[in-house]
């Protein structure tokens, strides 16, 4: 794939690597005022608590790893994809996507959960947490929720602690976010959605990628399978939803992914 960069760093690790250009791009997401030195110090603090060299799955021809990337689109409702999703080696769920009560459509198993503070959920002891940080305080939140609890004066409706396995915590490298925005989305929109970045991440760590639960409903609303849509004018904000969907369809057409569009 022309857009695909095999050497792209995926996660924050030790030794720490983040260019000034990537850091500057990342800061602009929420107009963060921190310096690269401050960011580096916070990453070093992370590595005092969480694994500094996260294990990354790599696709191998002799052992093809199948991955399901499960979004939260209303298109999953009534899809009956549950058993198919659960059959994958790796099942990546995004933000607060639920399984209880929706097993027939979305499955039961979760191996990886992508989240950021506002979308955090409690995890069991076997699920890997992949934090997508959008500003410096997201790293501070991660440290605090696993240690002393996060007081969170600047957050709205954010958990002050979460359950999970401290040895299964990984943080996405901001450079990966920039790479997705520029290489895969041609710099469309403010920054990529969590779901789209998760899909591209799966292309880097999986052999076969199956994608579920992406796209708007028939009326163009970006609603979730587990929620009743109250605001029918809700779109994708800073995210270039239509452009992301176009790229997903192109990947499916080129047979780089299998895209299950639901109902």
How do strand 208-212 and strand 258-260 relate by DSSP bridges?
A: parallel
Q: Which of 88, 116, 239, 260 is catalytic?
A: 239
Residue 239 annotated in active site: yes
DSSP at 30: T
Q: Would you call 79 helix, strand, or coil by DSSP?
A: coil
Residue 191 annotated in active site: yes
Helix (H) or strand (E) holding 24: helix 20-27
| β-sheet bridge partners, residue 90 | 67
Q: Which of 81, 179, 191, 225 is catalytic?
A: 191
How do strand 128-131 and strand 112-115 relate by DSSP bridges?
A: parallel
Token pair for 179: 């790479």
Closest C-alpha to 176, from 2, 22, 1: 22
Q: Which residues are catalytic?
A: 191, 239
């Amino acid at each position: 794939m022309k857009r695909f960069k095999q050497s792209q760093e995926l996660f924050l690790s030790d030794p720490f690597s983040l260019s000034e250009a990537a850091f500057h791009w990342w800061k602009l997401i929420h107009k963060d005022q921190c310096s690269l030195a401050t960011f580096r110090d916070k990453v070093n603090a992370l590595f005092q608590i969480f694994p500094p060299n996260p294990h990354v799955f790599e696709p191998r021809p002799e052992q093809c790893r199948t991955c399901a990337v499960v979004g939260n689109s209303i298109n999953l409702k009534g899809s009956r994809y549950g058993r198919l999703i659960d059959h994958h080696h790796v099942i990546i769920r995004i933000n607060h996507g639920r399984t209880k009560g929706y097993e027939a459509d979305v499955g039961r198993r979760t191996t990886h959960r992508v989240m950021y503070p506002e979308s955090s959920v409690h995890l069991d002891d076997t699920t890997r947490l992949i934090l997508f940080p959008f500003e410096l305080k997201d790293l501070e939140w991660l440290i605090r929720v696993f240690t002393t609890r996060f007081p969170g004066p600047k957050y709205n409706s954010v958990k002050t602690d979460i359950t999970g396995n401290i040895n299964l915590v990984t943080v996405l490298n901001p450079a990966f976010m920039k790479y997705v925005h520029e290489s895969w989305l041609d710099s469309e929109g403010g920054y990529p959605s969590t779901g789209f970045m998760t899909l591209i991440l799966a292309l880097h760590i999986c052999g076969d990628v199956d994608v579920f639960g992406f796209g708007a409903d028939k009326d163009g609303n970006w609603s979730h399978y587990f929620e009743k849509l109250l605001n029918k004018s809700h779109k994708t904000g800073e995210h270039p939803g239509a452009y992301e969907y176009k790229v997903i369809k192109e990947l499916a057409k080129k047979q780089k992914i299998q895209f299950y569009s639901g109902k």
